[in-house]
Structure 1
Amino acid sequence: MEAMFPERKDNSLTVTQLTNLIKNMLENSFQNILLKGEISNFKPSSAGHLYFSLKDADAQISAVMFRGSASNLTFQPKDGTMVQARGKISVYAPRGNYQLIIISMEKAGTGNIMEMIEQRKRKLAAEGLFDSARKRTLPYFPKTVGIVTSPGGAALRDILNIRKRRNDKVEIIVLPSLVQGDTAAPTIVNMIQIANRHKLCDVLIVGRGGGSLEDLLPFSEESVVRAIAASEIPVVSAVGHEIDWALSDFAADCRAPTPSAAAEIVIPEKTAILNEIDACKTNLYGEITERTRSLRLLLKSFDPENMHTRLLNIEQRLSERFDRAFDSLKSSMEELIKDRRRTIEHSREILENCNPQSIFERGYSMVTDRDGNIIRDAHKLNSGDQIKIRPAKGEIEATVN
């Protein structure tokens, strides 16, 4: 160790010398560190660099992630997020501070959770719980809005403030529920079922404010997702901040990026509605006024002097239509009768031609044996057979020779 210090008569070091010694020792000894901790005092810069601290229960260290490395992040860092960071120690000599320069970073402890959520998502999607065809339109003007959330959370306060600002005529029913921890999911399910069983509201907001992936896990529980999908009341899922998500977002009829945004979606703005009503009233009044003016102008044209002429013109047109229709019907009936007569005459001629008496009149005769059987073949007769010959008139008995 003594070789590291320069020889001086008083064996003393300058501040710069000591700092440089510490800088060399730290930077050479900690080139590739894998550190796990919670983000605190997160301050992104306008240049794209990220400044924050990593801490645990007993200590903290300053950290920086420069823009080039930060552009590769797959999540949005924020205070309270547990991360696993890889980097190196750097000493800033002018201030005598040391910090961790982070090269890469990912959320800590979320790998197994994310895999579990993705598996659950695939399972529920295969059952059709996320199909867009199942989703219903939210009511335009709900009388009552139900909120399933923590009664002491910031999410509820935000919703109530927005309701006060947008439309104080909308009633709010708070369905108190835990929103974090192992017992949160059953209470969320219970509140959704109570709201449906007693038809407490026209639309439900289910959610909470932001938090870590573990904090938001109850809203990805299978029981919560199924309760939302089975709800007869339309549901808006409002979990966390814009970058957060849960499986409840996919099952709900509508997904809001924040609880405040859910309130904006669900609660119509009273002023806008009143303005729309006034505009409709003005348009309706204008339409009625214009229609009335048109009718008055029309009525002025029906004075007593020309009413008779108008009626005669109408009667004449109708009479002409009637006459044309009558002539056309008469002509059609006459043509139909002629056609039927021709058909009857033709049928009569056919029947007469088929009459055996008509054939006899043309000189033909019919030959039968004694029993009346018609003789069609002369070779079937024998000499001495008695036959009968029937001409057009009378009957002849003969003997075959």
Structure 2
Amino acid sequence: MHADDWLADSVQSSSPLSVSQLTLLIKNDLENKYPDVTVEGEISNCKVAASGHLYFSLKDDQAVLQAVMFRRDMLALSFVPRDGMKVWARGGISVYAGRGQYQLIARTMRAAGLGDILAMLEERKQKFAKEGLFDQDRKKQIPAFPERIAVVTSATGAAIRDIIHVLRRRNPKAHIILLPAAVQGEEAAASIAARIRQANQWSIADVLIVGRGGGSIEDLLPFSEEIVVRAIAESRIPVISAVGHETDWALSDYAADLRAPTPSAAAEMASKDLGLVQKEIEHFETVLAQSMRQIIEHARQRLSLVSPRSMESMLVRRHMLLMQRFDTATEAIEQGMRSKVDAFSHRIALAASAIELSNPKAIMKRGFSIVRKSAEIIRSAEMIKPGEEVHISFYRGEANASILSAQAEDARSKNDEGL
């Protein structure tokens, strides 16, 4: 017989049920009847066990429901559950027999009423990103040692007290300028933006911290308003955004030059710890002094090993080495000059020989003559006729002659062939 059937028979009979039997009956009934429900309530007694599972209660003004979310489902959450947060939790109803209580096994969870706000913020974020308000090349460097640090926040909130405490501890020489602004409510965004613009108009600070303490996403909305985001993006003074706790965020974080997880962290980012800087300077002074003493002592030891005789010997060796290098260089130059002179002399001799071979007198010396008719040089028998007068130039002397006969080369060739 199935357990459920057995329990049903037991209920109808007069036999009493054990606590376990009744609990099992209720467990099966609830789990079968409510396998998938969505419950809205306020989180309380929220804690994460060592196993990574989240245990909490959901309550309203009339009832409390115990709930648990296992670690594997916790990893998918987009936010950190906290006491006082209103959520929608979806899962199945189960009974924990060991305590005799029913509970919700939550599989998913989201902040109640935040869907529209998150969608609006995402749309606004995309708009500003397209305009380039969040571009990295717009970011300005935070000065290492600012003399004046202005803070735009509530004058009565915990944020300004934390910032002042950190700055006084790390850099007591910095001037802290409070620019009080409303950080919550309908007038907050305009108040914050006005203070940012005022700081730039009067150039009253070297760095500007804009933020507030923690709160719900609705409380932090002024720091995501367009007027505040644009004021931060347009600021000539470097801006550190310090809104809420580490898990909180606002659009001012993206527009600012630097985002701090908390106001206290913003104060640390805005100021170097002068005590640590002083210790570093003192350490470097000690190291430098020790290094200088070692250098001087080493120089003294080297000087103690040097005598006038050794100095003279060293200078003589250096002088001789330089003289040898000079003589070697001189010989190389002279050898190079002699090689160039010999080459030029050889080229001149070749040119003179060529000129001499081209001299007509040299040719005529070997028995050749120059025959002219008037001023024209006779190069062929066709240029003269019998009876014409010609002038003959010899290597030595000249003569006039009369042509008896003239025979062209072609005719003489034919006569030679007839022979």
Q: TM-score, normalised by structure 1?
A: 0.73
Contact 1:121 1:247 in 2 (8 A): yes
Partner of 1:332: 336
Task: Name the amino acid aligned to 1:44.
Answer: K
Give, in whole Å, the separation in 2 of the partners of 1:112 and 1:258. 26
Give, in whole Å, the separation in 2 of the partners of 1:284 and 1:166. 26
Partner of 1:231: 235
Contact 1:63 1:101 in 2 (8 A): no
- Equivalenced residues, count: 375
Partner of 1:50: 55
Give, in whole Å, the separation in 2 of the partners of 1:332 and 1:258. 81
Please state how far the C-alpha of 1:283 moved relative to its aligned partner. 0.3
RMSD of aligned alpha carbons: 4.4
- Aligned in 2, Cα 1:296/1:54: closer, same or farther, shift over 3 Å? same
- Aligned in 2, Cα 1:258/1:382: closer, same or farther, shift over 3 Å? farther
From 203, 214, 217, give the equivalent of 2:218.
214
1:65 and 2:70 matched: no
- Aligned in 2, Cα 1:85/1:327: closer, same or farther, shift over 3 Å? same
Q: Based on CA coordinates, which of the two structures has the bigger radius of gyration?
A: 2
Per-residue Cα deviation, 1:63-97 (whole angstroms, up to 9, x for no partner): 43303265543211224534334467899999999
- Aligned in 2, Cα 1:217/1:298: closer, same or farther, shift over 3 Å? same
From 99, 103, 108, give the equivalent of 1:104.
108
In percent, how many aligned pairs have the same letter? Answer: 41
SS at match of 1:257: coil
- Aligned in 2, Cα 1:299/1:103: closer, same or farther, shift over 3 Å? closer
Alignment gaps of 5+ in structure 2? 1-18, 408-419
Alignment gaps of 5+ in structure 1? 1-15
Task: Name the amino acid aligned to 2:313.
Answer: T
Partner of 1:194: 198
Give, in whole Å, the separation in 2 of the partners of 1:322 and 1:263. 70
SS at match of 2:261: coil
Partner of 1:317: 321
Q: TM-score, normalised by structure 2?
A: 0.70
- Aligned in 2, Cα 1:319/1:34: closer, same or farther, shift over 3 Å? same
- Aligned in 2, Cα 1:355/1:277: closer, same or farther, shift over 3 Å? same
Give, in whole Å, the separation in 1 of the partners of 2:197 and 2:401. 111
Per-residue Cα deviation, 1:91-121 (whole angstroms, up to 9, x for no partner): 9999999987755321233323323333333
- Aligned in 2, Cα 1:332/1:60: closer, same or farther, shift over 3 Å? farther
Contact 1:368 1:387 in 2 (8 A): no
Partner of 1:257: 261
Partner of 1:5: none
Give, in whole Å, the separation in 2 of the partners of 1:155 and 1:213. 17
Partner of 1:167: 171
Partner of 2:183: 179
Moved more, 344-353 or 332-341: 344-353
Please state how far the C-alpha of 1:292 moved relative to its aligned partner. 1.4
1:75 and 2:79 matched: yes
Contact 2:374 2:391 in 1 (8 A): no
Give, in whole Å, the separation in 2 of the partners of 1:217 and 1:305. 87
Contact 1:63 1:100 in 2 (8 A): yes
